Structure 1
Amino acid sequence: MEDLGKSMQQTMNRRNWNKKFAEMVQQSLQDPDVQAFLNAHKAEMTPETLDRSAAKIYEYVLEKNKLAHGEPTFAPGYAPKLVMDQHLIDVTYVPTTELQEKRAVQTLKNRVQRINMPKDIADASLLSYDPTGRSNALQAANQFFMAYVNDPKTFHPGLYLTGPFGVGKTYLLGALANALAEKGFRTTLLHFPTFAVEMKNAIKDNNVQAKIDRVKKAPILMLDDIGAGTVSAWVRDEVLGIILQYRMQEQLPTFFSSNETMDELTNFLTISSQGDNEPLKAKRIMERVRYLSRQVVVQGPNRRLENS
């Protein structure tokens, strides 16, 4: 970062601005924050401190006033701060409250990885979740939240949220993920039907294993809309099966949302997109789903229609 105070002093000397500069420094010295700093650091100052630090004092007041009036500053997003450095006064720049708040918000968002998920869940909140017809689901989400936050090293089964289209299953997953992010925990949410298509496309790029590893190792995983569309035997066994097997072995929290109940999902997984009837393979998948999660029915009106 360029030394703004030194640059100011050099410019003023070249243009014979010493008198004007002295006036500006005198005005700067009257600034309440400058006065407070000088009083607090009297013991560290020598007779030459003020003379040799004049440009820095002026820089501090100039940039502070610009920031207060919303004008462009030397270091956008940062506020000037006076410091002592070997008996001289210097200016350093620290993040403003606004910048710190933006960084905090971004940190929270970075803890929730959303893959092909609706934008509105980015701001989803458990506190704003309407419990009408959904109180059991909200209660289950809160119970998991408290249990996991208090003891994250113990295995806590996730939720299998099932119910009609538009009742708020996906929103509740997003709200829970955001609440966990505030406590420092990372979650991956992904729309499973879209993920299944992407996995097929990843075959030609030789990128299947990398995608599976990224998902299966997520600290907390939420699979949205499982059971929608069609699923091939390969996606069922070599993608979903591998992900769930790993998470079961490692006892990692896993959530699901579906329009299908667990029993209905069993039937869905039995028939592959190729028309093969494979109940044993479907049963194997469902054993993992049941181990990893507990079914919770979400009811109520279609809120997407209400908001349209």
Structure 2
Amino acid sequence: MEKIGDTIKKLMDTSNRNEQFKKLMSDALNDPDVRSFLNEHESELSNESIAKSASSIYEFYNQKHNSSELSDQFVPSLIVNNHNVEVAYSPNAKRIAEENSKDYSSSVRLLDMPDDIKDASLDDYTGEGRQDALDKALQFIENYQSGGQYMPGLYLAGDYGVGKTYLLGAIANELYKTGVKSTLVNFLSLQSQAKGAINDNRVSKLVERLKKSQLLMLDDIGAANMSEWFRDEVLGVILQYRMQENLPVFFSSNFSMNELEEHFANSKNGNYDIVKAKRLMERVRYLSREVIVSGNNRRNKTW
């Protein structure tokens, strides 16, 4: 695309430049925004400086009225710089939305979580059986400071469809506003990812990413039996590191903590090991505080 300044220069260099230039500048100078700007800054601009700024004035007019890659994402405006008129660009609503989306994606990592988690809000989290969980979530949000005094996360226990996953998302979204980076992981998907990562040696990278996340949320823990390897070498390693470093974890589960301990004792291959289960639950209990969430099943209903 030819630059506006080059276009103006060519027009001024041609034999009929006066007529063409006058027509272009007449359209630009009669633009309501241009006229308003020149009137507002009349004391700062001379006729000579306006003439010197012809290419900038026309650039503004052209970008305002014609579609281009630039105008698709930025809004032009006129400014005075050193007694001359120049064009400044600011992001439009589309560009801002794209940047916000990128910023959200880099701050709130959703690993196989529902898409509607991005819109989860504490303002919508109301109803019978939810108040205690909401109160404790608000307390955490109000008092949590990265690197500050240790605060355990929440262990949200309750039946299907009572809003445990939604509350995790709402907490992450609220903390995002204060610059806290969260990682929300569907626990079944985590097991699947870890198993699939064995063959190409990606398990250590997966574990490293989760154990060092600023705020980790494990959704639906206990949804299926796990292998002894996953329990001890993946989940156990992640929780042990976070306990040592005082990095809180949020959990959601259909099991109470006592029920989850029994679940941990039973591995996929049928072995029963209550000692390892108790050791793992010590980490869970250190990293979070149990809250029972109840109420009606709200799945497939609007929030």
What TM-score comes out, normalization by structure 1 length?
Answer: 0.88
Aligned to 1:18: 18
Give the Cα–Cα distance (whole angstroms) in 1 for the partners of residues 202 and 69 of structure 2: 46
Deviation at 1:53, TM superposition (A): 1.9
| Residue number among 270, 291, 295 corresponding to 2:290 in the alignment | 295
Which residue of the partner structure matches residue 173 of structure 1?
168
Alpha-carbon separation, structure 2, partners of 1:289 and 1:8: 69
Among 217, 223, 234, the residue aligned to 1:222: 217
Pairing 1:96–2:92 present: yes
Please give the residue correspondences for 1:47-62 in structure 2 after superposition, counting only pairs within 5 Å.
48-62=48-62
Residues 187 and 218, structure 1, Cα contact 8 Å, conserved in 2: yes
Contact 1:75 1:93 in 2 (8 A): no
1:1-308 to 2 correspondence within 5 Å? 3-11=3-11, 13-14=13-14, 16-38=16-38, 45=45, 48-66=48-66, 74-84=70-80, 87-148=83-144, 153-304=148-299, 306=301
Deviation at 1:78, TM superposition (A): 0.8
Matched residue SS, 2:224: coil
How far apart, in 2, do the equivalents of 1:172 and 1:231 lie? 25
**What 5-or-longer segments of structure 2 have no aligned partner?**
none
CA RMSD of aligned residues (A): 2.5
One-letter amino acid of the structure 2 residue matched with residue 56 of structure 1: S
* 1:28 Cα deviation after fit: 3.0
AA in 2 matched with 1:140: K
Give the superposition deviation at 1:201: 1.5
CA 1:2 to 1:110, structure 2 compared with 1: closer, same or farther past 3 Å? farther
Partners of 1:23 and 1:306 lie apart in 2 by: 60
Q: Deviations over 1:220-275 (max 9, x none)?
A: 00001111111111111111111001101111121000000100000001111111
User: Is the alpha carbon distance of 1:152 and 1:176 closer, same or farther for their aligned partners in structure 2, counting shifts above 3 Å?
Assistant: farther
How many angstroms apart in 2 are the aligned matches of 1:204 and 1:105? 33
Number of matched pairs: 302
* Alpha-carbon contact 2:64-2:71 (below 8 Å) kept: no
Shift of 1:129: 1.2
Q: TM-score, normalised by structure 2?
A: 0.89
Specify the SS of the correspondent of 1:294: strand
SS in 1 for 2:269: coil
Say which is worse superposed, 290-299 or 191-200, in terms of deviation. Answer: 191-200
